Structure 1
Amino acid sequence: MRAQFVLSEIGVGLRRNLTMTIAVIVSVALSLTLAGAGLLLRTQVNQMKDFWYGKVEVSIFLCGKSDKVPSCAGGEVNNEQREGLKAELSRMPLVKKVYYESKQEAFKHFNDTNKDSPLSGNITADQLPESYRVKLKDATKYQVVASAFAGRPGVQSVQDQRKILEPFFKLLKNAQYAAYGVMGFMLLVAILLIVNTARVSAFSRRRETGIMRLVGASNLYIQLPFIMESAIAGLLGGVLASGLLSTGFFFGVKKGLGQQFNAFELIGWGPVLTTLPLLVAFGVLMSAIASFFTLLKYLKV
């Protein structure tokens, strides 16, 4: 009988505040969709970092005849310096593999990657430096190699391909922060709507709650219908957010970027399916907790 009464009170409350309940559901759905998108973007950025950082190399360019840097004051790198660098690189625990690229190989690589460039016909093999391409076990420890070989006799410069990727990842991280900022704003709007809906619902049923108090109903029993109303709105908002996020992922990533952009592997359905239950649970908890604290102030029982 008590459960039936609570359910009937929930139905009454939802009907009385239908427009506000719909506003709560939409606000919760939008904020949680942005939250899920931010989480998926973070997963994608981390996966991209693992993919690209696993491919980047540290390039140790050796001195040529015309190099004017102090480390090349002795002229073009000689065989003793070349072999000494290779031996030292091979002994470093951080180094996974060392590739030697001659001037001719560098020239071929330059022509292959710059076929349409006007410079391709004006560059000769002697103008390009020979180098050691070093693949590290941990690409984030580039400075260990740089400090060990930068400025050494026979070494023109040490470059890390990671620097090329950093601006791109910084842009993605800023986009992630922007998504979190908009998400925070939408969550605030949703919480304010939940608070206002609970307050209006409590005010509109003050006579019923007064009667329940007179017949000895407990505080939790009186508050439960209001909390459940908010929880149901949060549940529907979480379910709607899950649908929006899944639809956006399917058409935007799988059918969009996934078929037009294959420079790296995009995340699959695994992270999405892991995120969806979190959105639903957070929607329910956020709504129920916001309603509970609102009733402590506005529902005098």
Structure 2
Amino acid sequence: MRGNFTATLATLTTMTLTLLMLGFVLLLTLNVNRTLEQLESQVEVAAFLSADADDAGLLKYVQALPQVSEATLVTSDQVLREMTQDSPYTRDAAALVGNPFPDTLRMRVARVGDSRTVAAAVKGLPGVEDVEYGAGYVDPTVKTLTAVRGVGYALVGLLLLGTLFNILNAVRVAMYSRRSEISVMRLLGATRSFIRMPHVIEGLLVGVVAAVIALALLTPTYLELVRRVHELAPVFPVVTDRQTLLPVLGGVGLLGVLIGLLGSIFATRRYLQELE
């Protein structure tokens, strides 16, 4: 490694930067998934009932729908009390014209994408006057978050392939620069494993060092970004719990070590096969 310091340093730098980008993409994907889960847990489908509707029968029907995780019946008086808390003038208006709010079925769905399906299934029921599920903001938000998550997964895959190819090429270059030594070793009867072992150890060491450097840079940077996000947008569900972060960060470090090791093994095997 000292004899090929420039190649080793280039490989180490490339792996460190790749692991950093990979870690940031994984953390971004993790936060996008958390945001999507929170959005799914808050989306409701509201069915407004007519005065002669069979409230109990409708409630029982929607509770049996597989897409509905929770359903409650809110009477018009309860709706009026809720609206009064948000707008005190609502009670004065209701005293003049009566309670304008109908009985309402509120349904929570297991997935955001199910809200449209549930709304369509409930809308045609007798006694249901109208259905609302926030299509104007739910659908675009879900599409955006799903697209971001898909891009994140694609970037993770590309970065993994790029890291593997980088270490493969670096080890091949290192072995090519030592081709005279390898030829002498082969003439003296050295086994394939004896020739490969130093290069495998080199790849493993480079992977370990790259993983340590990447985690040393990634962890404080992410925590600082989390602090900034909490200050600017405290409602944003940023992932901060150790039970979730430690497996991701540990996975990035382990991945760097495995890529360094496996890349060296594959590169040395292929190079020696080409020599034969």
Normalising by the residue count of structure 1, what TM-score does the alignment of the two structures yield?
0.71
Write the distance in 2 (CA, Å) between the matches of 1:145 and 1:174. 23
CA gap of 1:274–1:245, structure 2 versus 1, over 3 A, is same
Secondary structure of 1:60 counterpart: strand
Instruction: Indicate conservation of the 8 Å contact 2:45/2:107, yes or no.
Output: yes
Write the distance in 2 (CA, Å) between the matches of 1:150 and 1:137. 15
Matched residue, 1:88: 58
Write the distance in 1 (CA, Å) between the matches of 2:195 and 2:208. 21
Write the distance in 1 (CA, Å) between the matches of 2:234 and 2:257. 38
Correspondence 1:99 to 2:99: no
Aligned mate of 1:46, from 27, 33, 36: 33
Write the distance in 1 (CA, Å) between the matches of 2:25 and 2:260. 21
Instruction: Indicate conservation of the 8 Å contact 1:34/1:179, yes or no.
Output: no
Aligned mate of 2:192, from 201, 212, 219: 219
Matched residue, 1:156: 129
**Aligned-partner residue type, residue 122 of structure 2:** F
Write the distance in 2 (CA, Å) between the matches of 1:148 and 1:220. 66
Single out whichever of 50-59 and 155-164 deviates more from structure 2: 155-164
**Aligned-partner residue type, residue 148 of structure 2:** A
| Offset of residue 247 of structure 1 | 1.9
CA gap of 1:150–1:173, structure 2 versus 1, over 3 A, is closer
Give the unaligned 5+ runs of structure 1.
Answer: 1-13, 63-76, 113-123
Correspondence 1:132 to 2:132: no
Write the distance in 2 (CA, Å) between the matches of 1:209 and 1:125. 95
| Offset of residue 243 of structure 1 | 2.0
Aligned mate of 2:7, from 14, 20, 25: 20
Taking every aligned residue pair, what percent have the same amino acid on both sides? 25
Aligned mate of 1:283, from 218, 243, 256: 256
**CA-atom RMSD, angstroms?**
3.4
| Offset of residue 151 of structure 1 | 2.8
Write the distance in 2 (CA, Å) between the matches of 1:85 and 1:203. 79
Write the distance in 2 (CA, Å) between the matches of 1:104 and 1:264. 30
Correspondence 1:266 to 2:230: no
Write the distance in 1 (CA, Å) between the matches of 2:83 and 2:171. 72
Q: Map 1:231-250 onto structure 2 (within 5 A).
A: 231-250=204-223
Secondary structure of 2:2 counterpart: helix
CA gap of 1:217–1:101, structure 2 versus 1, over 3 A, is farther
Instruction: Indicate conservation of the 8 Å contact 2:59/2:105, yes or no.
Output: no
Secondary structure of 2:42 counterpart: coil
Normalising by the residue count of structure 2, what TM-score does the alignment of the two structures yield?
0.76
Residue by residue over 1:68-116, the C-alpha shift from the partner in whole angstroms, topping out at 9 and shown as x without a partner, is xxxxxxxxx33x22xx13442146345442223457557647748xxxx
CA gap of 1:100–1:40, structure 2 versus 1, over 3 A, is farther
Instruction: Indicate conservation of the 8 Å contact 1:107/1:125, yes or no.
Output: no
| Offset of residue 137 of structure 1 | 6.8
Give the unaligned 5+ runs of structure 2.
Answer: 89-95
Q: What is the number of residues matched between the two proteins?
A: 260
